[in-house]
Amino acid sequence: MTGDFAAPRTTRGERTAARLRAAARAVFAERGYSAARVEDIVAEAGVSHGTFYTYFENKAAALDALIDETAGQLQAVVDEPWEGPDVLATIAAVIDRFVDVFSQHGDVVRTWFEAAAHDKHFRDRLRDVRRGYVERVAENIAPALTSTPHDAGVAAAALVAMVEGYATQGLATDDEQQRASVVRTLSSIWFGGLLRLMDPAT
């Protein structure tokens, strides 16, 4: 399964592919993945069925193309240096970057989750992307948990799920003040949870 599997390599072709991706995104957001049809996408884009099939094999391929962009931005967060003047500042910076991606692509991620519930291909893609950032969080918190009975991987998965769940429920926002408040709150919960886990008695 591919995205732009036979897209013409021209500026016009790239514009048409982008138009189709935008149309697919709008239709998936409005109707949901299961209910969305290719005819809905071509109607939204104002193109023919033949044009759609020049660029995408089916609606799953259109979703794959949208996921490629979202997954690429999530991977970029994973690959960045996670550094700050202190642990809380580092956590806040990482959460802010994740919230930024989810606020921009929350509709795509929600469509992805829906498709993953019924399609192994999308489930596998979701697992692979999620594994990347869970492992990165685990790598960063593991030193703090070495003298405790707690598993860094389990803790990382839970912490990531909290941010992911918040952001993908449509709660992420572009409002800077509200977003700053969200990041502070989520960071404090992460930090408080880590402090609790670092206590050998817990």
pLDDT at 4: 47
Q: What is the CATH number of the domain that holds 19?
A: 1.10.10.60
Average pLDDT over residues 168-190: 77
pLDDT at 2: 46
The two three-digit tokens of residue 119, written as one number: 């399609």
Q: What is the CATH number of the domain that holds 138?
A: 1.10.357.10
d(C-alpha 150, C-alpha 198), whole Å = 8
Same domain, 110 and 162: yes
Same domain, 103 and 185: yes
Range(s) of the domain holding residue 178: 63-198
To the nearest 5 percent, what fractions of the chain are helix, strand and coil?
A: 75, 0, 25
Number of domains present in the structure of the chain: 2
pLDDT at 77: 87
Query: pLDDT tens for residues 46-93?
Result: 999 999 999 999 999 999 999 999 999 988 988 888 776 677 788 888
Asked if the structure places residue 141 within a domain, the reply is: yes
The secondary structure element, H or E, covering residue 126 is helix 120-141
